[in-house]
Structures are given as structure tokens and as C-alpha cells.
Amino acid sequence: MNKARLRLLYLDMNSYFASVAQQEDPSLRGRPVGVVTTMTRNAAIIAASYEAKDQGLKFGARMNEARLLIPGMQFRPARHDVYVDYHHRIKRAVERVLPIEAAHSVDEFSIRLTGNAQRLETAMSLAEQMRQQIYTQVGPMMRCSIGLGSSLLLAKLAGKLRKPEGLEWLLPEVLPDKINHLKLRDIPGISRGMETRLHAVGITTVPALYALAPKYARKIWGGVQGERFIRALQGEDISQPIPKPTQSLGHGQVLSYNNRNPEAARLVTRRLLIKAATRLRRQNAYATYLQISVKCTARGRSGLGRKIPATQDSFQLLALFRQFWGELTFTKPISTSVMLGGLIPAHKHTADLFEKRASAGVRTPRENLCVLIDAINQRYGQDTLIYGERPNEITPYTGAKIAFGRIPGCEEFRD
């Protein structure tokens, strides 16, 4: 059997949102900082600096709880456009050393190592060079942890062994001894539910998990993903599944206190649909399905979804929205969402007999008008031109927030 080589480098920015706040505002450096959804008394803290974590702040705390625990705690509202800007600046800094293979989130990247870079000494040196490039090109507060491994899973796990600003490596030759002290939930990909499944079959420690036969893991996970996971944990460089083309896009928003009534919820949902339609045109795709949904404190969720004629026309979508909204029955809304599905790229579009377009994949005059409106708003600022109505209270970053697995484009903050 050939000796396993380092193949992946995983770079994870530490306390990313809070670090960006400290980089932007020097007065916050060295102080406990919490980033909140909005600057209200009971707002949730979505990120905290290491200074706050060192004083006992736990994930999921709220602003009023944090003030009691840490009297000198500083708070800043989330700034999604700034985080995306820093994401691209970090990418450019890292790629001064080696090309990035994938961005897994706004603050996590993986780099494939080849040739001489697979040697441990060389890989460690390259990792330190990346760290120094981030410090000099982006800022000294932008700290990161870096992991090296023979698989993506081991590289990601190695990066978690020493935080903040750690640099570690994992290869089968030091496993499982080097990770014996970890808990099952410390392994990336082991959720609370999966931990329960593993406990049910007598696997309660990391050494037992590492020794698991890949074929048996299929039964525990209920599919091939279990086998792939164990093989990667044991050091095999498992190729990542090819992502399927996006079949839908959408936006959701938790309603602010003043928007928690049916009319305000309508205006917010309408705005989310306009944002989604703008993204649809940017991709030059057509939607063939529309779904709207409202979550309520009473009677749960109310929603409606149907097939629609292929379109990227905001006016047509808004007309459909009026019809859909009129059919919903709900009270006490707390969040709302829209989804455009069944996406068809323009080059794969087949014209319908009743469509008002010159030929397949060619925009209608009204769709071209929507594209012109998009361009004007990009050039002169958000809401320079609007589609008739807008909410009385607009939550910042409506339709352009960083979400799990999706990094908004810089242009989305100007739509």
C-alpha cells in the first residue's frame, strides 16, 4: 500500500464576522465583540470575537444575556456586503500563493496540493505564506486556522485541532491516535442525529468510528454517503460529487416587529420576489414554478406553489403573486419566503405556442425592460426605480444575506 500524501489544504477564517468588525474599527481590537442580526435588546449574536468566547460567551446567546455576562461587551450589526467584500479580498491574497479549488462558505476555502507541495515541510511553509499574505493584503485581525490532510475531511478536521491561528496536519500514519481525544460531534459531518444513530449501534468514541468498516457505515447512514465518510476519515481522497445545476432560487426573511401584520408581510414578500427575479435575469434563466410561503405564530405555515409559464418578467411574476397572495389565509406572520423553481437556462428553453417572445430563449420586450431597470439600479443605487410599491420598513440586506452554502454576488447588494 502506498504511503498516503497530503492532498488538501483547508483554510478557515477565525470568528470571521467579528474579526471583520475588529479590522474595520481599530477601537474594537482586543475587546469582546458580538455581531448581531439587528441592534435591538434581544437580538441574537451570530458571531463573537475570541475575547468574548474566552470570557464564557456561548453560541446562541442574545445581546441582553451577553451584557450581563460581559459588562464591557461591544456590539455591531451584521454587514453582509462587507463580509462578501472581505471574502474576495482573502481569496486574492491566498491565490498569491496557490489557486483555490473551492470556496465552501464565505470564510472557508480548500486548496488542492500537487507535486512538491504534497511534502509536509513544503505544505506547512505554503500554509504560513498564505497566512502572511492575508495579514499583509487584507489585515492583521483576519486570523485563520489551516489544516492539511490526505482527504478533504481530514484537512478540515486538522484545522479545527488548534484554534485560533492553528496549523495542523492529519495522515493515516498518525490516526486515530491524534484524534482520540475528540468527541464524535467534533468530527465535521457528525450531527446530533447521526451521533444518536452511532450510539444506537455501540459506536461512542472516535477510535470506534475510525475503525468502522465502510460497508457497515452504509447501513448506519442509510446510503453510500456513510461509506464515503468513513473512507475519507481513514485518509482516502474521496472525489466530491459533481454539483447539480441549480433548479431553484429564492429568498426568505424573518419579519421585523413592525412588519408582523398581513399587509406589511405582503409588501416584504413582494420585495423578495422582485429580488429573486433580478437574480433570475442575471442568470438568464426562466422560472416555471412559483411558491410563496408565510410562517405564522398561529396555525403554522401557509403556502402556495404552482407551475407557471416560463418567464423572467417581474411584471408577470408580480401579477401571479397578487393572485397567489389572495388565496392565502393566515394570521400573525413572523417570516415569509419566495421560491422560483423549475429553472431553465435560456439556451435550453423551448418556446411555448402561447408565449409572447420572438423565439426560444429570446427575451420579450417587457423582460428587456426589466433588464434595463436592473442596470439603472446597479448604476445609480438600490430602488432608483421600483415596481410600484415598497415596504414602509425595509430590513437591511433584504434578499442579499449570506446563507449556508451561498455567497451573494457583490451586485446583489445594489439591486
pLDDT for the residue 175: 95
Name the nearest CA neighbour of 219 among 243, 192, 246, 198: 198
Could you give the percent of the chain with pLDDT greater than 90? 78
Mean pLDDT of 175-185: 96
- Predicted confidence (pLDDT) at residue 151 exceeds the cutoff of 60: yes
Beta pairing class for 167-170 and 144-149: parallel
Share of the chain above pLDDT 70, in %: 99
The long-range contacts involving 66-72, CB below 8 angstroms and separated by at least 24 positions, are: 66/34, 70/32, 72/31, 72/32
Cell for 56? Answer: 464564557
| pLDDT score of 2 | 46
Taken in order 220, 224, 228, 234, the sign of the CA dihedral is: positive
State pLDDT tens for residues 103-144.
999 999 999 999 999 999 999 999 999 999 999 999 999 999
Give pLDDT, residue 241. Answer: 67
User: pTM, whole model, 2 decimals?
Assistant: 0.89
- pLDDT of res. 181: 95
Interatomic CA distance for residues 102 and 173, integer angstroms: 27
Distance from the Cα of residue 309 to its chain's centroid: 30
**Average pLDDT of the chain, as a whole number:** 93
In b/e form, how buried is each residue of 297-335, taking b as 16+ CB within 10 angstroms? Answer: eeeeebbeeeebebbbbbebbbebbeebbeebebeebeb
Region 12-18: what's the mean pLDDT? 96
User: Model confidence over 337-364: pLDDT tens digits?
Assistant: 999 999 999 999 887 777 778 788 889 9
pLDDT band at 299 (very low <50, low <70, confident <90, very high): confident
Say which DSSP state 44 is in.
B
Q: Average pLDDT for residues 170-180, to the nearest whole number?
A: 96
More confident residue, 39 or 384: 384
H-helix or E-strand containing 208?
helix 206-210
Question: What pLDDT score was predicted for residue 4?
Answer: 74
Report pLDDT digits (tens) over 203-234.
Answer: 999 999 999 999 999 999 999 999 999 999 99
Reported confidence tier of residue 404, pLDDT bands at 50, 70, 90: confident
pLDDT at 3 over 80: no
Does the bond joining 164 to the residue before it have cis omega, within 30 degrees of 0? yes
Would you state the pLDDT for residue 325?
96
When pLDDT is cut at 50, 70 and 90, the band that residue 1 belongs to is very low
How many helices (H) and strands (E) the chain has is answered by 13, 13
DSSP string, 127-185: HHHHHHHHHHHT-TT--EEEEEESSHHHHHHHHHHSTTT-EEEE-GGGTTGGGTTS-GG
Tell me the pLDDT tens digit for each residue of 308-328: 999 999 999 999 999 999 999
Across the range 294-318, mean pLDDT stands at 92
Residue 401's pLDDT is 83
Q: What is the mean pLDDT of residues 18-30?
A: 97
